Structure 1
Amino acid sequence: MIKLTNIPVTTLPGVGPERAMHLSELGITTVFDLLTYYPFRYDDYQVTNPVDAPHEERVTFQGIIAGAPSIRWYGKKQSRLTVKLEVDGIPITVIWFNQHFLKSKLTNGLPIMVTGKWDREKLQIIGDRTFLSKNEQQLHQDQLEPVYSVTSKIRVAWLRKLIYEAFKEYGNQIEEVLPETLRTKYRLIPRAKAMYLLHFPKDMKDGHQARRAIVYEELFLYECRLMWSRLQDRKETKGITREIPKDKLQLMLQSLDFPLTGAQQRVVDEICSDLESPHQMNRLLQGDVGSGKTVVAAIALYANYLSGYQGALMVPTEILADQHATSLKTLLKPLGLQVVTLTGNMTAANRREVLGQIQMGLADIIVGTHALIQEKVIYRKLGLVITDEQHRFGVKQRASLREKGEAPDVLMMTATPIPRTLAISVYGEMDISIIDEMPAGREPITTYWVKKEAWERIIKFVAKECQNGRQAYIICPLIEESEKLDLANAVELFEQVTLELSPIRVGLLHGRMSSLEKEEIMGLYEQNDVQVLISTTVIEVGVNVPNATVMVIYDADRFGLAQLHQLRGRVGRGGGASTCVLVANPKSETGKERMEIMTETTDGFVISERDLQMRGPGDFLGVKQSGLPEFRLADLTRDEHILEVARTDAKEILHSQEGITEEEYQVLLTKLQTEELMLD
């Protein structure tokens, strides 16, 4: 049987070179592309009667014209055409605007079907779609009309006809992929029938059944591919076999100034189990802002050290590298570990010294930016690679660090919580650990949304906190004034706030400063020599100044939810009460909604779910770097439950000893073995 993915769409009647080019703009080059080019919605033209029709909704009536039409002109181009229509014995008025050409066709006694907005009180409908016929039976068109995304060069009617012809010619060649056991278990209609009904449903029940079958199939096959790939990797890639002296690790845990939360202990156990496994660890660690991921990373690095290996921690900014290095030295230096930092702003002599320490194995923990993956960096015995805020690095950058050792274990960390739906889809080939418990003593940050007119009150509040020995951040979106965007800018705001808060010391930090300038201003802020820091989002991730209790975000509606949550997480790190003030006059409903969400919850996982609902998966992760599959029908936000079920089914089948070898799974097995990702 010829694969439908190999049959060009030009084999269908009426598709010459020009039309083939227009179809290719829609992503349609093969018959399979055409058959799976599903409509994105259906217009419902199911006939109802005036008694049941909801007020001010779009409805469809069928009746008999009762009287002569009348037309009224407004100028030369605007017109209003009306006629009486009898529908199930009820007289109503039909009005058409600027459709004067219908007047000559509206004869008394003619059956008509009209769709439009219904005014129940006035018994009138504003028509926007009309069918006329001398034979009432001919009015029964399709009650559901699919709506496709097309360009100006492709007419929907022609596309539907072409899809119909494709089903006539090739519909019997659509291969069933799902095992019969699963189709029976969930009462799923056959694949070919489901694909056809998505284009030509008789009613909504048809459409629902068809969508359910295809969505489950898409998600099941995707999860199978992820798990199959992971199983093959485990067979082919052997990790480091090591033994961690648990007594020494336990002594380190007992030396901490605080007990681990239950969630932290659970994650530590998962990581240590991975480190001792003969398979390479590939784990994603999610934890909300302030949940204690750094401590978990330190424990993982120490466990790796105890088994005789070096560890590397790669972070996106030099500020964050310095902070992590300081934290790790505090925790690990007393235990005899040598922690070094490698960033792009080091002097040549200092860099040579650190590179030598890494190569000779004198450096146990190496913290740095992407400088860690440069060619001249040679590790003596790299056993564990950790990337913090992993989404800020490209896939190649993360892979480059892994390649510095021989199958080192990999731990990726993020403080940007990813909803479970996305996590199991995008990171399905990874194990996922979640720290979903905050350390004891951390008070929730109180968040307020105020208008810009309240600025004077905000400044007074900041001044009061500083006079009480505390510190504050004031964040704005731009560095310098922009003619195109009416947003606060850091330079201007710095000058303004310096005057308003005098004699309180105010500092300025932004991305265009040199590394040394950033380091200097952060040093002053950490020592409380600068009490208020005006900054752009350069401080978004990882900056840790426990004495800071106020976060003011100017033009807050211009930031995304995840970014606002990260910025808010820069305060409340010292155990005392902290406040976040969102300053915004949002013009859009979306902007207002973001402000309301931020004042309602401080839970990063709740915020990420709302963010996903508002933006969709591609925008949530960043379209170019999302790693999301391009499903033809499935929607990760709407079909979360089906995804969970499909994942469970895929896991049960692929992890069973004999299940995948049974005859009914042979088509699926062949597809997986030949890596046919788009199944025809």
Structure 2
Amino acid sequence: MDCSVVYDDLLAACDQQGFVCLKIRLAGDPNNPEQVDLRGYGSSWKEPLKHPWQRRCLRQKLRVIDRNGNSGQLALFGTPWAWKDAVPDTTMYVYAQVTQWNQEISIGKAVFLDKAQAGRVAPVYTGIPGQVSGASVRQLVDFLFEPEHLELALQASSELIEQECAMDDGQIMALVDCANPDRLPLKDLCQRGQLRLDDVLYQLHRPDTVAHGLAARYCANRICALALQVQAMIQNERPEHPLSAIAEPAQMRELTLRALARIEQSSGFACTANQRDVALNVANDLCGPTPLCGLLSGEVGAGKTVAYLAPAVAAHWAGAKVVVTAPTLLLADQIAGELITMFGQSVQIQRVEEGGKIHNDQAILVGTESLGSICARQNYQANVVIFDEQHKMHTGLKNQLIGPFTHRLEVSATPIGRSLALSMYAGMRTYTLNQQPVAKSISTMLVDTSDRRATVAAIARAIANGKRAAVILPRVQLQQNSGLSEASGRSAGAEEPTQTVANAMRTFELFDAAFPGKVGLLHGSLDNPTKRKVLDLFRKNVTPILISTTVMETGISVPDISVIVIRNPERFGAFQLHQLRGRLARQGGQADCFLFADDLKSLSEDTLTRLRSVESTNDGYELAVLDMINRGAGELSGRDQSGATTTVFKLINWSMTDWLLDENARFDLSLTHSDEVHPQPEARTRNAGQVALF
């Protein structure tokens, strides 16, 4: 806010365009001079209320006067109670628009200022909703800009920025200056011949001019982008290691082609050219001196399992230790079963259960999140680790299993925000599967209770044609998982909520009455043997209708599911809905997905937009990008894998399109030696009276 000129004459302020800083006084009520002159209104400005001190008062006009006695009306919104004890003739400062119409002066869009803000360019602090107010941030900044605190505050802040960017002051500002657009000639603004971080910080909070403040904010934005890019580089890049290479490239290619041939022979289906290319590319990348950091993003049903199992088996045949992890017991069982079916005795496989031990460290180990602690206890170090359905894995597990020479491949149709963000920077190798091995056509329809009969009829037709149908119910509440317990079949500390189970039971009873003997029930609170039995009966088409919670989401493959009904889809993220839809038509053909809401008219605009996006596209990667843009990419170097991304400047408002999807906003890190640990900066000295812009 440019408050460098303070107007104490309302008529003079009317001649100015845009916002101005005003010095005004509260006018007294002619009928009660001890109270301010405040008129209250309801939902419009048409008719004033009898008195403003009531709940119906949603907006007010507060009469103010200038030094010449000219009066104006200050428009206010919200409740009037803050003005109940206001005293007439009190001086206040506002930053507002001033207009005159029919001799009446109106003051709108006002921001109230402290006296210290008047007479200078004042930054606006928005705060963080629910955490800290803008006023509190400003008070803290004012405290730190007192002479006895300023030098230490600038030095500590500069050192924090250097730490986040992993480079020194000069390197940071050189990169920011190189990326500067022509409209902000930073060097022309520099007062000391060299841009420095403390100059940016000083002008960000105490700008000499609006141009200086905007230039400082630009620098702060670019520093945030630089810090995030460096964090991504650190996460993605792996140093070379003598034990990295699994085998010679020619040998790995031969073994991978042999594995693909075994898969085709056992399944009766030919691999797609896309699957073959991805498998061979992964195999080749396992032969380099640098451990692989890879993301395999494949459309649901495109055969990701084949694409990663072939090079995994090839690595096993070459003598490497291989681990495959899955987020659920049922998916881990499925992967182990597919390995046995495809390769038989030619591959050693151990399905490592919760609480179990590694009995054969040369076998391909298949398990859930419990594998992390088991491997740590037995000092087992894998050469290759594959995280299937990586969007369900927490970062702690990933860090547990990865050693200095371990190749890491994450697999998902809908990558979690953090992994998707990291894949857009150098250092992470991406592989894409977008060719379906079988022809399929899936129709997605967003419906509500008015379409109940059509939905039930679609299920009945599927059963009559020998197909399967699934009804998916949401969890009533989602709790954080600290790990997965296979022994109980439940997430540790996160048992399926009682209400969720009750809803599933109620739905099961309704369907069982309509389709007696043909309905199964699957939810997270069942013990493991029961889960396996229910899913086995569904696979064998003994119970062709399955009522399930989101246990069905993660990669479970059952042939000939031709109808899926997802209740209360507004409770799911876009990528969850896509994963559930991916259970359909696994062997090809036509299938229908019903997103079944209670009442479409009651859903918010944002929710409807999300559901319509799922309805209109079958592209999981596109939905993952949309989810990342809407929810955020989480912490690139922390545990949060989605949600808000914290930057070094906490109050900078970021969007994914600002710093992630715009490749032109990236820095050329080859201009500096960012891989070197920068020295601790020397203590700085500043002349408090010195004009420092840059």
Q: What TM-score comes out, normalization by structure 2 length?
A: 0.70
* Matched-pair contact (CA < 8 Å) for 1:617–1:636: no
SS at match of 1:278: coil
1:242 paired residue number: 247
What is the Cα deviation at residue 303 of structure 1? Answer: 1.9
Q: Separation in 1 of the partners of 2:134 and 2:644?
A: 29
State the partner residue of 2:508. Answer: 494
Deviation string 1:427-485 (CA, Å, 9 cap, x unpaired) is 969523231513254435211111234323321221122112211110112489x9997
Q: 1:447 to 1:197 in 2, by over 3 A?
A: farther
Superimposed CA distance per residue, residues 68-104 of structure 1 (whole angstroms, 9 cap, x where no aligned partner): 9764674584696555989xxx997545656477784
Corresponding residue to 2:648 among 610, 632, 635:
632
Asked if 1:609 corresponds to 2:590, the answer is no
| Corresponding residue pairs, total | 593
Alignment of 1:538-557 (within 5 A): 538-557=551-570
Q: Identify which of 129, 143, 146 aligns with 2:125.
A: 146
Aligned-pair identity in percent equals 24
CA deviation digits over 1:305-354, x for unaligned, max 9?
Answer: 342334331212221122112322343338x3344433349xxxxx89xx
Matches within 5 A, 1:470-549: 470-478=467-475, 489-499=503-513, 501-503=514-516, 505-549=518-562
| Cα shift at 1:505 | 0.6
Please, which of 215, 226, 235 is the counterpart of residue 220 of structure 1? 226
CA pair 43-299 structure 1, distance change in 2 beyond 3 A:
farther
- Look up the SS of the partner of 2:559 in the other structure: coil
Q: Secondary structure at the match of 2:618?
A: coil
Q: Give the deviation of 1:125 after TM superposition.
A: 4.8
Task: Give me the whole-angstrom Cα distance separating, in 1, the residues matched to 2:140 and 2:377.
Answer: 57
For 1:469, the aligned partner's letter is: G
Aligned with residue 463 of structure 2, among 463, 466, 487: 466
Which amino acid is 1:451 matched to? D
Q: Distance in 1 between matches of 2:343 and 2:440?
A: 28
Q: Which residue does 2:314 correspond to in 1?
A: 303
1:605 shift after superposition: 1.9
Partner of 1:320: helix, strand, or coil? Answer: helix
Structure 1 residues 370-449: aligned runs within 5 Å: 370=369, 372-373=371-372, 374=374, 383-402=383-402, 407-418=405-416, 423-425=420-422, 431-439=428-436, 441-449=438-446
> Match for residue 669 of structure 1?
676
Does the residue aligned with 2:524 lie in a helix, a strand or coil?
coil
Q: Is the 8 A contact 1:505 1:529 kept in 2?
A: yes
| Equivalent position amino acid for 1:185 in 2 | C
Question: 1:621 and 1:117 mapped to 2: Cα distance?
Answer: 48
- The equivalent of 1:314 in structure 2 is 325
**Larger RCO: Structure 1 or Structure 2 (Cα < 8 Å, ≥ 6 residues apart)?**
2
| Match among 260, 268, 289 for residue 279 of structure 2 | 268
With over 3 angstroms needed to count, the CA separation of the structure-2 counterparts of 1:202 and 1:464, relative to structure 1, is: farther
Contact 2:570 2:607 survives alignment (8 Å) = yes
Residues of 2 paired with 1:675 and 1:413: CA distance? 42
The match for 2:178 among 185, 201, 210 is 185
Contact 1:510 1:536 in 2 (8 A): yes
Is contact 1:422–1:636 with CA below 8 Å preserved after alignment?
no
* Comparing 212-221 and 597-606, the one that deviates more: 212-221
Distance (Å, rounded) in 2 between the aligned partners of 1:238 and 1:267: 23
* Change beyond 3 A, Cα 1:179–1:509: closer
Consecutive unaligned residues of structure 2, counting only runs of 5 or more, are 31-36, 40-49, 159-167, 187-194, 478-495, 683-694
**Counterpart in 1 of 2:141?**
160
**For the structure 1 residues 263 and 471, does the alpha-carbon distance in structure 2 shift closer, same or farther, using more than 3 Å as the test?**
same
Q: Give the match for residue 691 of structure 2.
A: none
AA of the residue aligned to 1:246 = R
Distance 1:396 1:229, change over 3 A: closer
The one-character-per-residue Cα deviations of 1:226-245 (angstroms, maximum 9, x if unpaired) are 546776x5246642452225
Distance 1:197 1:525 in 2: 66
Residue by residue over 1:483-531, the C-alpha shift from the partner in whole angstroms, topping out at 9 and shown as x without a partner, is 99799810111101211x3246111000111111011111110011111
Aligned to 1:197: 203
Quote the Cα distance in structure 1 between the aligned partners of 2:462 and 2:632: 39
In the alignment, structure 1 residue 290 sits paired with structure 2 residue 304: no
Amino acid in the other structure paired with 1:219: A
Opposite residue 610 of structure 1, the aligned amino acid is: L
Residues 231 and 636, structure 2, Cα contact 8 Å, conserved in 1: no
Partner of 1:316, secondary structure, is: coil
Residue aligning to 1:105: 89
Q: Mark the CA change 1:151 to 1:479 in structure 2 (over 3 Å): closer, same or farther.
A: closer
Would you say the 8 A contact 1:178–1:217 is kept in 2? no
After superposition, what is the alpha-carbon deviation per residue over 1:188-237, rounded to whole angstroms, capped at 9, x for unaligned?
84332322232234676544432332232343345446546776x52466
| Cα distance in structure 2, aligned partners of 1:636 and 1:314 | 33
| Contact in 1 for aligned 2:303/2:437 (Cα 8 Å) | no
Letter in 2 for 1:369: T
Instruction: Answer yes or no: is 1:560 the counterpart of 2:579.
Output: no
Distance 1:461 1:43, change over 3 A: farther
Paired position in structure 2 for 1:7:
none
SS at match of 2:440: coil
Q: What CA RMSD, in Å, does the superposition of the two structures yield over aligned residues?
A: 5.0
Moved more, 206-215 or 285-294: 206-215
**Quick check: 2:469–2:563 contact (8 Å CA) kept in 1?**
yes
In structure 2, the CA distance between the partners of 1:141 and 1:340, relative to structure 1 (3 Å rule), is: closer
Deviations 1:128-150 (A, max 9, x none): 556899xxxx9756465334457
Cα distance in 1 between the residues matched to 2:619 and 2:85:
59
1:366 maps to which residue? Answer: 365
Report which stretch shifted further, 139-148 or 584-593.
Answer: 139-148
Which stretches in structure 1 are left out of the alignment for 5+ residues? Answer: 1-41, 346-350, 654-658
Shift of 1:536: 0.5
Distance 1:111 1:368 in 2: 67
Distance 1:413 1:230, change over 3 A: closer
- Conserved 8 A contact 1:85-1:94: no
Letter matched to residue 234 of structure 1: P
Q: Which has the higher mean CA deviation after the structures are superposed, 489-498 or 147-156?
A: 147-156
Which residue is 2:484 aligned to?
none
Which residue in 2 is equivalent to 1:278? 289
Change over 3 Å in CA distance of 1:466–1:270 after alignment to 2: same
The 3 A distance-change label for structure 1 pair 62 and 180 is closer
SS at match of 1:639: helix
Single out whichever of 324-333 and 198-207 deviates more from structure 2: 198-207
SS in 1 for 2:387: strand
Judged with a 3 Å threshold, the aligned counterparts in structure 2 of structure 1 residues 596 and 522 are, in CA distance, closer, same or farther, namely: same
